[in-house]
């Protein structure tokens, strides 16, 4: 009887653990209302280069993997206390686009914003500079997280990229980024070609 109870308890524990483990890649992001989740959050306005604002409550937006992504024309990226370094690339559509899809080798024009997961600080933003950036989407031309995470985007689409250190800058990052830091980008495709 004890063995049977022990087996039942183990099976039940396993089911509870499995139910609690879900990937944001498998489902849609959830919208969070301001104040619904406690912080602290490092809140970065992609329209302004500068230090993040620290907030004890989650700002409104899409909640994904301990992040909150604002839905305004120029988004905000907020890094919360439950955010953890990515172990694999996450490429999550936030807003749908239309038309042809990006493929490796295309020249793309995008607006984007990048935040370091460890520091919670914004390190680059085309929105803050006031002009979209144009890149050739080729291996070796951009960090690998972009060449793997951007293909498939359509014009007008906005996408979240969570890029682990080995697909980002690794052991040799530029200033403002930690060694092997997960990079969090919001990318909006303006045009292809």
Give the residue numbers spanning the domain of 115.
Answer: 30-192
Q: Hey, what's the torsion of the CAs at 179, 181, 186, 192, to 10 degrees? A: 50
Structural domain contains residue 11: no
pLDDT along the chain (193 residues), means of 10: 34 29 42 63 94 90 94 96 95 96 98 96 96 96 97 98 97 93 98 96
pLDDT at 17: 27
Structural domain contains residue 4: no
Structural domain contains residue 1: no
Strands 133-136 and 107-116: antiparallel
Summarised one tens digit per residue, pLDDT across range 110-159 is 999 999 999 999 999 999 999 999 999 999 999 999 999 999 999 999 99
Structural domain contains residue 3: no
Q: Which residue has the tokens 């959050």?
A: 41
> Can you tell me whether residue 138 is helix, strand or coil?
coil
pLDDT at 58: 83
Could you give the count of Cα atoms lying within 13 Å of 104 in the half-sphere of its Cβ? 12
**57 membership: H or E segment, kind and range:** strand 53-57
CATH of the domain at 122: 3.10.50.40
Structural domain contains residue 181: yes
Q: Say how many domains are in the chain.
A: 1
pLDDT at 50: 86
pLDDT at 40: 93
- The pTM of the full predicted model, rounded to 2 decimals, is 0.82
């Amino acid at each position: 009887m004890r063995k049977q109870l022990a087996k039942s308890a183990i099976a039940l524990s396993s089911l509870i653990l499995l139910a609690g483990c879900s990937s944001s890649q498998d489902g849609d992001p959830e919208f969070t209302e301001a104040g619904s989740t406690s912080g602290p959050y490092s809140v970065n306005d992609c329209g302004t280069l500068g230090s993040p604002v620290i907030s004890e409550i989650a700002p409104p937006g899409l909640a994904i993997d301990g992040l909150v992504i604002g839905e305004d024309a120029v988004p905000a990226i907020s890094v919360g206390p439950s955010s953890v370094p990515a172990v694999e690339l996450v490429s999550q559509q936030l807003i749908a686009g239309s038309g042809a899809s990006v493929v490796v080798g295309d020249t793309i024009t995008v607006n984007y914003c990048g935040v370091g997961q460890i520091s919670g600080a914004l390190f680059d933003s085309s929105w803050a500079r006031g002009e979209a950036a144009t890149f050739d989407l080729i291996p070796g031309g951009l960090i690998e997280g972009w060449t793997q995470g951007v293909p498939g985007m359509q014009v007008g689409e906005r996408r979240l990229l969570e890029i682990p250190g080995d697909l980002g800058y690794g052991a040799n990052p530029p200033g403002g980024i930690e060694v092997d830091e997960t990079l969090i980008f919001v990318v909006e495709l303006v045009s292809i070609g």
